[in-house]
């Protein structure tokens, strides 16, 4: 890229942004792409023939795939190594990441437990203290579970009496976890070891003698790619081998369902939640003394989420007849008796309900920002909690006897800050605020609303330097997700802040498919309505250009998982609109996603190519199948990982191969394949920084704007 007009962040301390003159950036050429064999595979979908020339890349165990991965990584690494400011970006990211990160303390037994990372530790350490504010001690350091920090805690739980601590450990980012148990008095591991668990942790029985968990049979082949079927619920008694665990629930007629157990605190009732996918549930129940489960809340048209069980009444959240969700309770002795405790809010989404101090705390989303209301158990309002700042809240959870609880608050320019909350008075006081290597006062986040293709108003957060001139020449990174009821609320991201520090504009669009505005917002972006999500994202890009935030020569888009699908679909639909596309661990082959691991669970969101009515609309937007030969596509860096058993890397492999074959322009199409990493959860800090450094180096290089080191 030559003759580019560049914005440079000239920073002295946290100095002002200045405009430089014209600079020439060295144009970098990538090495030739590997020769990727094209097969003759053709599938017939209800009379439509669809070629799949790179089907062989689905075999993640083959020597041919391994050789291709090595060759592609070599091309990508050679390209990235030529970017002169790659090292400077990594150095600054390391500085921004390097601040103490502490979680809100919660009491279990005689101790208060919290997570702590001194700055650059690969995994947060579990610490404890006798009283909040006193010096803590290390209880469990996950960094000691592997030499390279690639074993992470996927779930944690304490027995009701606080005597035992169970954790689910995931290796190299896999969804498979192993459950281990610690004695909190001694800090020693017990002999209990539970394997082949996925999407489950230990759910303790009230008597603290054992726990429930959900597991699959050990896979016979393809540990990280084979389809997972017949999840079962078990009960494990402490001190016994897994082989002796008691089968609590299974469904031999429906192999593609998830199940999870949940016992009442009084030990009288046991519930099993069933789901056919990522939304829509069914609740079964029985007395603990019984053996047969009965249907309490039938599935799978609505969502039901456990909140509490007391006095033989189950408190649960639901969107049944309430798009923005309501809290209800149902009598377990007279199931026809259902009462609304907290009615649906006319405008705001009821995102969650927690309990503490014999009170209910309702977390609402108002235009994707947290609001908290406190109620008693009959739904009588106690107060609206006055939050110290606008942002995203976590916490407001504790025991029945607690008088004080702790919560966190974060936004785009502030890492998680911990506050102490007095349940009786409603007063919040600062407990701990992190010290960071930047000046938050230099930045501002605004929320705008823009029209999508069909006129729907869509919200978007825009974070930038306060002194930035909106002249249409600024680097801009647009991020989105748009699916699975996932809400994108304000949160701190060190790499995004580095981009903003450089004069970039970081934008997060709250697309349909999430549930920022309830189930209606979700349904407007799923199944046959999925194109609305892409239209929303494209409209966001067009708005940013029209309002002079940026230009198409400076605009990059990014998203992960379902957001990777978003980026891939928008890239192939509007290759003229973006300079850089960054799909991460994306669902990119929409015709075969359901054939791997737990992909079948997403059919409730996407539909399935096995369905004659759903195939046409899926095929119409599937990123892999809409790549066109001879098109000039934007610079593209596809990112995936070898242990991703959520969205198997074959999606990214096939997309990158097909895009490289089709590319008619000079912009690079590269793929970065991380080793010993998975879908993202639990990824070591060192790998996160490496990945972000490569992504942003690629971004700056391909919009023709050099990174300017921050003056010390």
- Paired with 233 in beta bridges are 214, 249
Q: Which two tokens stand for residue 328?
A: 């209800």
Average pLDDT across the chain, whole number:
93
Place of tokens 């099993």: 272
What confidence score (pLDDT) does residue 28 get?
94
* pLDDT higher than 90, residue 446: yes
Contact predicate 98/119, CB 8 Å: yes
- Could you tell me which residues are beta bridge partners of residue 181? 166
Q: Which two tokens stand for residue 374?
A: 């406190």
Predicted pLDDT of residue 4: 27
How do residues 122-147 score in pLDDT, each as one tens digit? 999 999 999 999 999 999 999 999 88
Question: Angle at Cα 471 formed by Cα 708 and Cα 578, nearest 5°?
Answer: 75
Q: What is the pLDDT of residue 675?
A: 81
Find the DSSP H helices in 517-672: 519-523, 531-546, 562-573, 603-606, 615-621, 650-662
Task: Pick the closest to residue 160 from 400, 362, 389, 413 (CA basis).
Answer: 400
Residue with tokens 């008796």: 337
Nearest to 123 by CA among 596, 602, 519, 685: 685
Burial class (CB in 10 A: 0-12, 13-18, 19+), 358: middle
Contact criterion met (CB below 8 Å) for 581 and 557: yes
Contact 467, 460 (CB under 8 A): no
Residue % of the chain over a pLDDT of 90: 87
Confidence of residue 396 (pLDDT cuts 50, 70, 90): very high
**Phi then psi dihedrals of residue 223, to 5 deg:** -55, -40
- Please report which confidence band the pLDDT of residue 647 belongs to, taking 50, 70 and 90 as the band edges: confident
pLDDT tens digits for range 267-283: 999 999 999 988 899 99
Largest CA distance in the chain: 78
Q: What is the pLDDT of residue 556?
A: 98
Write out pLDDT tens, residues 57-105.
Answer: 999 889 999 999 999 999 999 999 999 999 999 999 999 999 999 999 9
Alpha carbon distances (Å) from 484 to 194, 298, 393, 515, 521: 29, 21, 20, 8, 11
Output the pLDDT for position 712: 63
The burial of 292, by beta-carbon neighbours within 10 Å (0-12 exposed, 13-18 middle, 19 or more buried), is given as exposed
- Asked if 54 contacts 658 with a C-beta cutoff of 8 angstroms, the reply is yes
What is d(CA 633, CA 583) in angstroms, rounded to the nearest whole number?
14
Residue 125: predicted pLDDT: 97
- Tell me what pLDDT residue 18 has: 31
pLDDT category of residue 16 using cuts at 50, 70 and 90 = very low
Is-catalytic flag, 643? no
What is the per-residue pLDDT across 467-525, written as a single tens digit (0 to 9) for each? 999 999 999 999 999 999 999 999 999 999 999 999 999 999 999 999 999 999 999 99
Confidence of residue 24 (pLDDT cuts 50, 70, 90): low
* Across 168-180, average pLDDT: 91
Q: Which of 236, 345, 625, 679 is catalytic?
A: 679
User: Do β-strands 580-584 and 555-560 pair in parallel, antiparallel, or remain unpaired?
Assistant: parallel
pLDDT value of position 86: 97
Q: Determine which helix (DSSP H) or strand (DSSP E) holds 91, and give its type and residue range.
A: helix 86-97
Tokens of 392: 């995203």
CA dist 303 and 588 (Å) reads: 27
Mean pLDDT for the stretch of residues 623-634 = 98
Compare 655 and 4 and report the one with higher pLDDT.
655
Question: What's this model's pTM, rounded to 2 decimal places?
Answer: 0.92
Average pLDDT over residues 295-313: 96
Residue 2 confidence (pLDDT) above 60 = no
| Alpha carbons 343 and 349: distance in angstroms, whole number | 11
Q: What's residue 12's pLDDT?
A: 29
**Dihedral-angle region of residue 521 (phi above 0 means left; psi in -120 to 50 means alpha; beta otherwise):** alpha
- CA 266 – CA 206 distance, rounded (Å): 7
Give the side-chain half-sphere CA count within 13 A for 242. 18
Q: How confident is the model at residue 15 (pLDDT cuts 50, 70, 90)?
A: very low
pLDDT at 223: 81
- In this model, does residue 7 exceed pLDDT 80? no
Joined together, the tokens standing for residue 485 give 């009821």
Q: Tell me whether residue 515 is one of the annotated catalytic residues.
A: no
- Which of 561, 609, 622, 652 is catalytic? The answer is 561
Contact criterion met (CB below 8 Å) for 294 and 306: no
């Amino acid at each position: 890229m030559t003759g580019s007009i560049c914005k440079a962040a000239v920073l002295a301390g946290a100095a002002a942004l200045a405009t430089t003159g014209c600079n020439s950036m060295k144009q970098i050429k990538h090495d030739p792409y590997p020769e990727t064999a094209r097969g003759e595979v053709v599938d017939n979908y209800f009379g439509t023939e669809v070629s799949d020339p790179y089907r062989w890349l689905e075999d993640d165990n083959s020597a041919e795939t391994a050789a291709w991965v090595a060759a592609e990584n070599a091309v990508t690494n050679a390209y990235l190594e030529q970017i002169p400011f790659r090292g400077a970006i990594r150095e600054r990211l390391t500085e921004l990441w390097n601040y103490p990160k502490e979680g809100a303390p919660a009491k279990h037994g005689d101790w208060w437990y919290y997570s702590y990372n001194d700055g650059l530790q690969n995994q947060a350490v579990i610490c404890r203290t006798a009283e909040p504010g006193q010096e803590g001690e290390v209880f469990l350091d996950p960094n000691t579970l592997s030499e390279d920090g690639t074993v992470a805690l996927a779930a944690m739980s304490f027995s009701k009496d606080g005597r035992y601590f169970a954790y689910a450990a995931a290796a190299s980012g896999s969804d498979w976890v192993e459950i281990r148990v610690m004695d909190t008095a001694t800090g020693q591991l017990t002999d209990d070891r539970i394997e082949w668990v996925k999407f489950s942790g230990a759910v303790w029985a009230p008597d603290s003698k054992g726990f429930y968990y959900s597991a699959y049979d050990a896979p016979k082949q393809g540990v990280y790619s084979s389809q997972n079927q017949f999840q079962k619920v078990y009960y494990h008694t402490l001190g016994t081998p897994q082989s002796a665990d008691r089968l609590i629930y299974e469904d031999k007629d429906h192999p593609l369902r998830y199940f999870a157990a949940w016992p009442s605190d009084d030990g009288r009732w046991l519930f099993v939640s069933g789901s056919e996918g990522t939304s829509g549930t069914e609740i079964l129940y029985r007395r603990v003394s019984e053996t047969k489960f009965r249907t309490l809340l039938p599935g799978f048209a609505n969502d039901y989420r456990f909140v509490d069980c007391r006095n033989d009444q189950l408190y649960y959240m639901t969107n049944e007849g309430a798009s923005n969700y309501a809290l209800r309770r149902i009598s377990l002795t007279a199931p026809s008796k259902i009462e609304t405790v907290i009615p649906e809010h006319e405008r705001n989404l009821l995102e969650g309900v927690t309990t503490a101090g014999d009170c209910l705390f309702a977390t609402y989303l108002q235009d994707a920002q947290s609001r908290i209301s406190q109620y008693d158990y009959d739904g009588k309002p106690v107060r609206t909690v006055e939050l110290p700042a606008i942002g995203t809240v976590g916490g407001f959870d504790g025991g029945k006897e607690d008088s004080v609880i702790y919560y966190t608050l974060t936004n785009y320019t502030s890492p998680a800050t911990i506050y102490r909350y007095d349940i009786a008075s409603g007063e919040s006081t600062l407990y701990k605020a992190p010290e960071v290597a930047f000046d938050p006062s230099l930045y501002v986040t605004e929320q705008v609303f823009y029209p999508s293709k069909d006129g729907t108003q869509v919200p978007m957060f825009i974070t930038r330097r306060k002194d930035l001139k909106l002249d249409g020449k600024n680097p801009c990174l647009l991020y989105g997700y748009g699916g699975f009821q996932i809400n994108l609320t304000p949160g701190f991201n060190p790499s995004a802040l580095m981009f903003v520090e450089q004069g970039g504009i970081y934008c997060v669009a709250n697309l349909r498919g999430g549930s920022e505005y309830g189930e209606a917002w979700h349904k407007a972006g799923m199944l046959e309505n999925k194109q609305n999500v892409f239209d929303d994202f494209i409209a966001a890009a067009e708005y940013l250009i029209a309002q002079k935030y940026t230009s198409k020569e400076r605009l990059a888009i990014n998203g992960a998982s379902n957001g990777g699908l978003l980026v891939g679909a928008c890239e192939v639909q509007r290759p003229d609109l973006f300079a850089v596309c960054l799909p991460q661990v994306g669902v990119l082959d929409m015709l075969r996603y359901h054939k791997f691991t737990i992909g079948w669970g997403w059919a409730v969101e996407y539909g399935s190519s096995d369905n004659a009515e759903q195939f046409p609309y899926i095929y119409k937007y599937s990123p892999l199948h809409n790549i066109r030969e001879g098109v000039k596509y934007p610079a593209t860096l596809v990112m995936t990982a070898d242990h991703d058993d959520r969205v198997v890397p074959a999606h990214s492999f096939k997309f990158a191969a097909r895009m490289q074959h089709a590319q008619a322009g000079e912009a690079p199409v590269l793929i970065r394949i991380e080793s010993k990493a998975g879908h993202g959860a639990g990824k070591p800090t060192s790998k996160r920084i490496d990945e972000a450094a490569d992504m942003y180096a690629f971004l700056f290089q391909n919009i023709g704007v050099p990174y300017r080191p921050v003056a010390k």
